[in-house]
Amino acid sequence: MLHSALINVMLKAARRAGRSLKRDLGEIENLQVSLKGPANFVSLADKRAEQMLLEDLTKARPGYGFVGEEGGLREGQDKSHTWIVDPLDGTTNFLHGIPQFAISIGLQREGTMIAGVIYNPANDELYLAERGKGAFLNDQRLRVAGRRKLADSVVACGLPHIGRGDFKLSLAELGEIQPKVAGLRRFGAAALDMAFVAAGRLDGFWERNLQAWDMAAGQIIVREAGGIVSGIEGDDDPLKTGDVICGNEFIHAELVKILKPLGK
Ligand code: 2AM
Ligand code: CA
């Protein structure tokens, strides 16, 4: 499949960092049994991947700004373009050898996402989208699922864990959603949850307290697959609020109706 020069830059960067993460995943499987555990190793893997992405993306597009999970904002001379990058989304999965993690690269122009790539090197699934040109999984055009009722839908969420999140609110959300859906899932990598919504595998996804780099690429991939992405209010910007709800127009609206009143 022919891609634009921009998408080719993003694909190349994602694949190089992906090879590095995949090698590191193999190493982690050995380290699992060591006493110290692989946590320090993972943090190195993460930093190494971010460094590669920073190098490749800034070499190809000098001057663009770069926001990464590890290094924060590095401003460039071109104030209108910013890469928003998570070198390893799903860190806890990676640390445990669970092959549900990804590199996420988004490009923002004047505050609007114009391109996104999400790549899981463990299974070689690569999702991409460019504004106005559709969303793809390994060259196959994506479209969000068509289900209109929550009762037929499989929905994913994020869950609080030790040291992070609002447990009471999360239990209230689950209490409302669980009895209404065909299935609830928790995969642990927000970028891939959004990619799964774009691919029609999941009918919807919501999570609170995320960062822009968890959602930047996912936002344009879901939108280009015909889905809706917002914050908990239903019409707000998830990259600004850190909360996200996505799905087709029907499931997105159903989720907003249930979740919006709960956080008040
Ligand atoms: P990460 O794996 O890159 O940390 C899991 O619920 C999702 O939340 C993952 O996409 C995870 O990204 C993201 N997340 C955002 N902020 C987090 C934090 N402070 N701790 C753990 N996960 C976080
Ligand atoms: Ca992340």
Q: Would you list the domain boundaries of the chain?
A: 5-141, 150-262
pLDDT of residue 46: 92
Structural domain 150-262, CATH architecture: 3-Layer(aba) Sandwich (3.40)
pLDDT of residue 27: 85
- Could you please state the CATH topology (level 3) that the domain comprising 5-141 is classified under: Fructose-1,6-Bisphosphatase; Chain A, domain 1 (3.30.540)
Q: Is the dihedral of CA 45, 50, 51, 52 positive or negative?
A: positive
195 ligand 1 Cβ < 6 A: no
49 ligand 1 Cβ < 6 A: no
Q: Ligand 1: which residue has its CA nearest to atom 15?
A: 210
Which ligand 1 atom lies nearest to the CA of residue 207? 6
What angle, 0 to 180 degrees and rounded to 10, lies between the N-to-C axes of helices 39-60 and 5-31? 170
Q: What is the pLDDT along the chain (264 residues), one digit of tens a residue?
A: 889 999 999 999 999 999 999 999 988 877 765 655 677 888 889 999 999 999 999 999 999 999 998 888 899 999 999 999 999 999 999 999 999 999 999 999 999 999 999 999 999 999 999 999 999 999 999 999 999 999 999 999 999 999 999 999 999 999 999 999 999 999 999 999 999 999 999 999 999 999 999 999 999 999 999 999 999 999 999 999 999 999 999 999 999 999 999 977
Distance separating alpha carbons of residues 17 and 9, to the nearest angstrom: 13
pTM value surpassing 0.75: yes
Candidate from 89, 94, 120, 243 with most ligand 1 atoms within 8 A of CB, to mutate: 89
pLDDT of residue 240: 96
What are the φ/ψ torsions at residue 115 (nearest 5 degrees)? -160, 150
pLDDT of residue 54: 97
Residue 197 sits at the vertex; the CA angle it makes with 132 and 20, to the nearest 5 degrees, is 85
86 ligand 1 Cβ < 6 A: yes
Q: Kindly give the distance from the C-alpha atom of residue 68 to the centroid of ligand 2, in angstroms, as a whole number.
A: 10
- Do 5-141 and 150-262 have matching folds? no
Burial 176-206 (b: 16+ CB within 10 A, else e): ebeeebeeeeebbbbbbbbbbbbbbbbbbbb
211 ligand 1 Cβ < 6 A: yes
Contact 3, 115 (CB under 8 A): no
Q: Kindly give the distance from the C-alpha atom of residue 42 to the centroid of ligand 2, in angstroms, as a whole number.
A: 14
Q: In this structure, which amino acid lies at residue 73?
A: L
Side-chain-side CA neighbours of 245 within 13 Å: the count stands at 21
